[in-house]
């Protein structure tokens, strides 16, 4: 790690020298007041985190009562210094009524300049250092937390199956407090084993506090011990024990979430209290089925999605007004179509009905608006409506990583790469250990033709989950574009071991045969895909891409027509997918783009 006294922080065309308290642009110093400089450094040191106005005001005016307008003026001066205006916000994201987040990519380099005096200034406190002081008065210092699956005190009885449900319920409740960044359930699933150190988990998840607990069922009663651990020093911030009837489980969850929040945040607003006390269902069986559904949904496999649909349907059967379960059902059907397991036209109708049911029962549900955003964009090609729904979802819950994740994909396929990279980085910050998010970060960089960054993200996805086949497949796409065909074939072989007889992998091999002028082998792959299409759904884009590599343009444009007819989501990528670059001068390619634009796709 670079010593802060030797550190230079690079972002955009700026160089920030913390020790010298200088901001340079093109070698020229940018004039900043001391408070504005401290604001910039604080935002950068906590980049990716949504910092509430309360946190920022306590960081810079700890012993003074100031109005929010003072902070807003400070941010305004900083934006002006960075060259931002209301049309261009490359560095600082404003989340309405909540706070600010530094979203630009930052790198570090060493500074050869020797340390200079800070003229008596106290060192700037990062959010982490604020957190270590929170228990002596600055409770709002903690801004990020992970809730681990509660561990059973004994392997007998029902406690083991309840531990994840308890954690998921608390995650859902705490995520509604916009001043807290809470890791999603998918990020903490792997921490269900007994004996894992909370501090190590917190460091891996890059959070400031970890909530862990033990749970035991004793006849008709439930005994729970829980503690909130400060990751910086391992101390228990708060601890409590509960012993009450099993029938009061939801009341127990309410009590724990309220006490944790009051420990971290000095004063809850009325809106915060309303969101914290909101219950998505009164049926414990429905909640458990929903948790199981999301677990299998995160697998992103045909089998996993099938199980997810079954669990979401069970949850709805237990509680026909359970909005979250309808949203989960919508997401599961959306992925079965978008992953090519069924025709999108066969899945989107059910997904749409479920998503509308979700908003009917709870219009303030970020998950439901995210589902509607995906449908509006990828299936209806109504991108203005899609963007409104994504922004609504993020406004409702800035901590919902899937909203940022899917919004990034939507922005990428429309060529808005800088915004896409910003959103996918936020999703990664919210759920840093998600293979799916890191995999799609690789795709965003791939479409932006930043191939080294794409490979870096895809390798990270594989490190997180060596069985995540899509990341190997996408690495092969990047290596093919780089001309590193041996590496591409190696990645496809690894993916093939995980997904036997998968048409995606078969088609990718067909492209490599075509690129290496093995036309006979490439044509055999096309024939094999046609045979497979008689028994299962094969996206016409797979065969089209092989024809692109073979130079068979008539077949390429015939394939594009089929994609338009089937409303394939793959057709939306042709304007950014590098494999189509050789076709861009063909008038027929322009005609296809115009047809898509006429159907609502923005170009």
Q: What is the per-residue pLDDT across 535-591, written as a single tens digit (0 to 9) for each?
A: 887 889 999 999 999 999 999 999 999 988 887 888 888 989 999 999 999 999 999
> What span, in angstroms and rounded, lies between the C-alpha atoms of 50 and 39?
14
> What span, in angstroms and rounded, lies between the C-alpha atoms of 244 and 100?
41
> Residue 303: how many CB atoms within 10 A of its CB?
10
Half-sphere exposure of 284 (CA within 13 A, CB side): 14
> What span, in angstroms and rounded, lies between the C-alpha atoms of 538 and 340?
7
pLDDT grade for 252, boundaries at 50, 70 and 90: confident
pLDDT at 527 over 90: yes
**Contact between residue 209 and residue 180 where contact means Cβ atoms under 8 Å apart:** no
CA distances in angstroms from 552 to 367, 392, 557, 594, 595, listed in the order given: 43, 44, 9, 21, 21
pLDDT at 125 over 60: no
Element (H, E) at 331: helix 323-338
> What span, in angstroms and rounded, lies between the C-alpha atoms of 52 and 206?
18
3-state secondary structure 62-126: CCCCCCHHHHHHHHHHHHHHCCCECCECCCEEEECCCEEEECCCCEEEECCCCCCCCCCCCCCCC
Token digits of residue 263: 């420990």
> Residue 117: how many CB atoms within 10 A of its CB?
7
What pLDDT was estimated at residue 580?
Answer: 92
Q: Give pTM, 2 decimals.
A: 0.70
DSSP string for 517-539: T-HHHHHHHHHHHHHHTTTS---
pLDDT grade for 331, boundaries at 50, 70 and 90: very high
CA distances in angstroms from 472 to 335, 460, 497, 498, 543, listed in the order given: 19, 11, 11, 10, 20
What pLDDT was estimated at residue 247?
Answer: 73
SS3 of residue 450 by DSSP: coil
What pLDDT was estimated at residue 314?
Answer: 96
> What span, in angstroms and rounded, lies between the C-alpha atoms of 494 and 554?
33
């Amino acid at each position: 790690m670079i010593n802060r006294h030797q550190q230079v922080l690079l972002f955009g065309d700026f160089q920030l020298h913390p020790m010298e308290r200088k901001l340079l642009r093109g070698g020229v110093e940018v004039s900043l007041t001391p408070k504005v400089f401290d604001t910039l450094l604080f935002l950068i040191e906590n980049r990716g985190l949504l910092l509430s106005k309360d946190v920022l005001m306590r960081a810079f005016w700890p012993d003074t009562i100031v109005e929010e307008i003072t902070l807003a003026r400070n941010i305004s001066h900083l934006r002006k210094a960075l060259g931002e205006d209301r049309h261009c916000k490359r560095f600082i994201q404003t989340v309405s009524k909540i706070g600010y987040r530094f979203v630009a990519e930052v790198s570090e380099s060493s500074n050869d300049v020797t340390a200079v005096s800070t003229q008596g200034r106290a060192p700037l406190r990062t959010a982490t250092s604020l957190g270590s002081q929170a228990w002596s008065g600055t409770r709002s210092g903690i801004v990020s937390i992970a809730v681990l699956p509660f561990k059973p005190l004994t392997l007998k009885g029902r406690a083991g199956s309840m531990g994840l449900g308890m954690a998921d319920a608390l995650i859902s409740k705490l995520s509604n407090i916009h001043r807290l960044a809470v890791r999603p359930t998918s990020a903490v699933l792997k921490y269900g084993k007994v004996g894992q150190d909370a501090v190590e988990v917190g460091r891996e998840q890059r959070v400031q506090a970890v909530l862990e607990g033990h749970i035991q069922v004793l006849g008709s009663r439930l005994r729970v011990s829980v503690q909130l651990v400060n990751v910086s020093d391992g101390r228990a911030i708060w601890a409590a024990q509960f012993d009450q009837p099993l029938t009061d489980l939801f009341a127990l969850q309410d009590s724990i979430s309220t006490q944790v929040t009051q420990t971290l945040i000095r004063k809850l607003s009325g809106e915060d209290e309303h969101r914290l006390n909101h219950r998505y269902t009164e049926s414990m069986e429905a909640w458990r089925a929903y948790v199981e559904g999301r677990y299998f949904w995160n697998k992103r496999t045909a089998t996993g999605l099938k199980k997810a649909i079954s669990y979401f349907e069970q949850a709805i059967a237990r509680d026909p007004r359970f909005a979250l379960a309808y949203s989960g059902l919508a997401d599961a059907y959306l992925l079965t179509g978008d992953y090519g397991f069924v025709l999108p036209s066969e899945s989107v109708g059910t997904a749409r009905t479920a998503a509308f049911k979700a908003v009917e029962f709870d219009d303030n549900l970020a998950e439901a608006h995210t589902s509607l955003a995906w449908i509006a964009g990828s299936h209806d090609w109504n991108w203005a409506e899609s963007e409104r729904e994504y922004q609504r979802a993020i406004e409702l819950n800035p901590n919902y990583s899937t909203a940022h994740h899917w919004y990034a994909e939507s922005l990428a396929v429309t060529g808005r790469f800088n915004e896409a990279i910003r959103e996918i980085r936020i999703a990664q910050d919210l759920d840093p250990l998600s293979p799916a998010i890191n995999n799609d970060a690789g795709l965003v960089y791939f479409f932006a033709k930043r191939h080294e960054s794409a490979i870096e993200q895809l390798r990270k996805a594989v490190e997180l989950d060596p069985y995540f086949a899509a990341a190997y497949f996408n690495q092969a796409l990047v290596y093919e574009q780089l001309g590193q065909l041996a590496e591409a074939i190696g990645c496809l072989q690894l993916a093939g071991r995980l997904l036997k007889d998968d048409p995606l992998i078969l088609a990718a091999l067909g492209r490599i045969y075509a690129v290496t002028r093995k036309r006979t082998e490439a044509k055999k792959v096309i024939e094999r895909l046609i045979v497979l299409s008689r028994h299962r759904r094969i996206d016409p884009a797979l065969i089209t891409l092989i024809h692109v590599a073979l130079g068979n343009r008539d077949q390429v444009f015939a394939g594009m027509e089929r994609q338009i007819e089937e409303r394939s989501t793959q057709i939306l990528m042709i304007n950014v997918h590098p494999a189509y670059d050789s076709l861009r001068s063909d008038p027929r390619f322009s005609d296809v783009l115009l047809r898509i634009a006429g159907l609502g796709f923005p170009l």
